[in-house]
Amino acid sequence: MRGPAGASASYGEWLFNVVVASVSALVTALLVVGLSIAVDRIDSQGIEIMEQTSPEFIVQVSGAVATPGVYEIASNGRLADAVEAAGGFTQDADVVHLNLAARIGDGEHITIPAVSSNFDQVKEEHAIVSGLINVNTASASELDLLPGVGPVIAGRIIDEREEHGPFISVDSLARVTGISSDTLEELRPLVTVDD
């Protein structure tokens, strides 16, 4: 039989166990509350990201489209998106000369030519269908649309960028044989080297 010392030891063990259990419960509760707050923050940040929309570009579409006008398209939009916003092509649209995958920039005026229009006249008027022509990615037929650039110089532009890398500025087109300073000045508002 235990005496007072034994009873005291049992009470001490019991008290120790109660304190350990209480501290464990408190630590567990704090962890649960902390994790709950962290998950809420992660969820709310995820919702904020999902709610963000891509910026819009404003473009003007004219020519052989159902409803010419000014439209908003996504900032990653293509020529096809602008045409769709304008109600699609008319029956006389000249889609053969278009690159529907061409990127569209903010503030561009896109003119969709009609089959009946004289394509040389479009070339002379500098009405480039998809806005600025990127000389680093344009095909020979797209480069041929530029004033002062025929099929021969278009081929030289492509050869130059393939042999020596992309053009870093519009001025670097001067390294192409056949592009004079006058031609370069004429091309400056019509071409770009940016993506």
Q: 191 and 166 share a domain? A: yes
pLDDT category at 121 given cuts 50, 70, 90 is very low
Q: 113 and 138 share a domain? A: no
Residue pair 61/86 in contact by the 8 Å Cβ criterion: yes
pLDDT category at 129 given cuts 50, 70, 90 is very low
Q: 169 and 143 share a domain? A: yes
* % of the chain exceeding 90 in pLDDT: 14
Higher-confidence position of 99 and 49 = 99
pLDDT at 91 over 60: yes
pLDDT at 194: 76
pTM: 0.39
Domain-terminating residue out of 52, 70, 94: 52
pLDDT at 168: 85
DSSP string for 105-170: -TT-EEEEPBTTS-HHHHHHTT--TTSSEETTT--HHHHHTSTT--HHHHHHHHHHHHHH---SSG
pLDDT in tens, 27-71: 888 887 777 777 776 655 555 544 455 678 888 888 889 999 999
pLDDT at 52: 52
> In whole angstroms, what is the distance from residue 108 CA to residue 83 CA?
13
Average pLDDT, the chain: 79
Domain that holds residue 93: 54-131
Q: For residue 184, give the CATH number of its domain.
A: 1.10.150.320
Q: How many domains does the chain have?
A: 3
Best CA proximity match to 143, nearest among 112, 167, 116, 163? 167
> In whole angstroms, what is the distance from residue 15 CA to residue 5 CA?
15
pLDDT in tens, 157-181: 999 988 888 888 888 899 999 999 8
Q: 136 and 121 share a domain? A: no
Q: For residue 103, give the CATH number of its domain.
A: 3.10.20
Domain-terminating residue out of 131, 154, 170: 131
pLDDT at 126: 40
pLDDT at 3 over 60: no
